[in-house]
Chain A
């Protein structure tokens, strides 16, 4: 069965590593839903979080292929255990003085905030898992979404479990 999987990879912090990882996905015909990268807790290593889809054998093959890359230190599947996964979205919606208040009320339960107010637009910032962001985007779309920027998912395991160097 096709399923979404969240994979955490520790890689050498070196030019070209993102290209190698992305290239591999393309070469082997694996889907990338999102890919994020940033420094990790360990000097010299970056952490990549990849969200991908596929059945069990595909997932196993993806992880093994990542492991083969010389710049990859460790590959772990986050989504088979409790994890926290978040993305951040910046949503520019059309808003006039007449409906700003309405929007403000609407986004409140999402703990989203307004980070920029223009004459005809608002920029709303929201963090949460992918479903929450999707829900907010849907809710705001009747107002007219001018621009949408999402970071893609980053994630971490809950509790003591750690994907460490």
Chain B
């Protein structure tokens, strides 16, 4: 496969797939993927997947060879989050499979649909501690939505069909299919089932009409309602419905971290995210509201600080989620609504009374005006990290797909970047996986070749998967890679400063690679800035560059993320900045 044209290629016409044709398990697998509409697979070969890679040699599927299986699975995840389609990854048995584990857990925590194909040793060797044997189905039980071990080649097409079905329906999640080598080599007639018949799996997508009536009544009666919209709104593709509802009844909206792109960040009703590093307005609104309409949000401890009993104690909670187990898990719900968020919002919309913004909206907007996110620029022109995020946001006007890694920069992006478009914010929220953001941007760019993709990274996390610069270079992916270099593990430093009495233990990254030279070594344009005027110039150059660019911004190392609510505190105990 030619690498540099792969992205832009027209979809090749496929040879017709005949049912009943005899073929190997490996060929069946690829046929199944094509029938599922898969265009890209991310992967890495090895002994037990050699039959699959041999079939790939002459397949129409586009396979992206990453430089680490972790890169492959995060790329598949970024692809899935950007496109809404399932991401597909292939890895070999043993170390290949175990290298997927962090990526599977990342996707599981954020409900991302993935189909992970692993090879395993042949069945006559299973259980013998054979070379490169690992019990990957056992290992991944707690971090997959479901997993399969394929014993018979005749079951393979049905299992692949079920894997895609399970990964993409209900609450989405990663599904792993482990295929021993003998199954990939065995032959059988190929039949792809048209429907899935899983009597034990039936997600509830249609909401209960009585609960909808209760919700409508509560909405009409509430005086100080807020919407809390989370990742579930994104998964359901219900951004439009949400906006219609909000604009009809004029309620303030608090997007959770995972829901940041589910509602326009510049909308006058948008208060920004709540919780530990959330906005003053959002946290005040939660403290004062009498009705929370939680939409595909799960009240995790970065929002409640683990103080679930005290959380929004003045409010009724309407909790809408496709996963019944989320309702009542962390906070009690007065009105539980199980169903697909889109269906729920569609059912509610015509029933609620239109209402104009009143005193409550005025109040929350006042809070927003009083206490926006803020920082002070350095007088000597040395860059503040927030300033970098703001500058980049202003240059895009929100028209970009943004990925972040994990740490301080992640929070600053969440605070200062105002997301406009659906599926435009990609970040590891639940697991907080360093090393996620950059490979995820690779997947996102494959999913959206015509969109601007910006990948924000810390100098720590970027080094966890920087090897994937090879993909960016090889495929000429026009990603704008941003490294916010504070020469330390910023978020850890902040906690050590605030909670461990300034004892900076093992956070110094000053001996890291020269990122500009690193980019250059991969044939990628590298730029650096450490002052305000340089930053503007360099970023302009980056935006005008057609292909990939890595831009390193050298920033103030001791900047902290504020506001902050300490773990274990309540939302009324926000710390707004460094106390001298």
Contact = CB atoms under 8 A, between A and B. Distances in A.
Interface of A: 11-12, 15-16, 19-20, 23-24, 27, 57, 60-61, 64-65, 67-73
A20 B148 CA distance: 12
Given A70-B201, A71-B200, A73-B200, A65 B325 contact: yes
Given A61-B328, A64-B324, A65-B325, A70 B145 contact: yes
Interface string B482-500: 0000000000000000000
A23 B141 contact: yes
B146 interface: yes
Contacts of B198: 70
Q: What interface size band does chain B fall in?
A: 10 to 19
A19 B329 contact: no
A70 B200 contact: yes
Contacts of A12: 200
A68 B323 contact: yes
B166 A70 contact: yes
Interface string B190-202: 0000000011110
B7 to A, nearest CB: 35
Contacts, number: 37
B200 A72 contact: yes
Contacts of B199: 73
Contacts of B325: 61, 64-65, 67-68
Given A27-B142, A67-B324, 13 more contacts: A11-B200, A20-B141, A23-B141, A24-B142, A57-B328, A61-B329, A64-B324, A64-B329, A65-B325, A68-B325, A69-B146, A70-B145, A70-B146
B542 to A, nearest CB: 44
A70 B196 CA distance: 13
A80 to B, nearest CB: 17
A61 B199 CA distance: 22
A3 B200 CA distance: 29
B421 interface: no
B401 to A, nearest CB: 31
B177 to A, nearest CB: 13
Interface in B155-208: 166, 198-201
B138 interface: yes
Looking at chain A's contact residues, is the secondary structure mostly helix, strand, loop, or mixed? helix
Residue from B166, B198, B201 having most chain A Cβ neighbours under 10 A = B201
B362 to A, nearest CB: 38
B99 interface: no
Interface string B114-141: 0000000000000000000000011001
B506 to A, nearest CB: 30
Contacts of B137: 16
Nearest to A27: B142
A23 B201 contact: no
A60 B333 CA distance: 13
15 contacts: A11-B200, A15-B149, A16-B137, A27-B142, A57-B328, A60-B328, A64-B324, A65-B325, A67-B324, A68-B323, A69-B146, A70-B198, A71-B146, A71-B200, A73-B199
A73 B325 CA distance: 16
B323 A19 contact: no
Contacts of A16: 137, 149
A11, A64, A72: residue with the most chain B Cβ atoms closer than 10 Å: A64
Contacts of A57: 328
A103 to B, nearest CB: 45
A19 B141 contact: yes
Contact of A19 (B138, B146, B201): B138
A12 B198 CA distance: 10
A153 B146 CA distance: 28
B142 to A, nearest CB: 5
A119 to B, nearest CB: 41
A84 B447 CA distance: 57
Contacts of A15: 149
Contacts of B200: 11-12, 70-73
Contacts of B145: 70
A-B residue pairs, 8 tightest by C-beta: A64-B325, A70-B146, A73-B200, A27-B142, A70-B201, A23-B141, A64-B324, A12-B200
Interface string B310-332: 00000000000001110011000
A16 B142 CA distance: 13
Nearest to B326: A64
Interface in B283-329: 323-325, 328-329
Nearest to B144: A70
A65 B201 CA distance: 13
Nearest to B202: A73
Contacts of A11: 200
B232 to A, nearest CB: 15
A70 B199 CA distance: 9
A28 B484 CA distance: 37
Contacts of A68: 323, 325
A64 B325 CA distance: 5
Contacts of A67: 324-325
Nearest to B324: A64
Nearest to B201: A70
A82 to B, nearest CB: 27
Nearest to B325: A64
Contacts of B201: 70
A114 B149 CA distance: 45
Contacts of A19: 138, 141
A61 B330 CA distance: 10
A57 B141 CA distance: 24
Contacts of B329: 61, 64
A60 B325 CA distance: 9
Nearest to B327: A64
Contacts of B138: 19
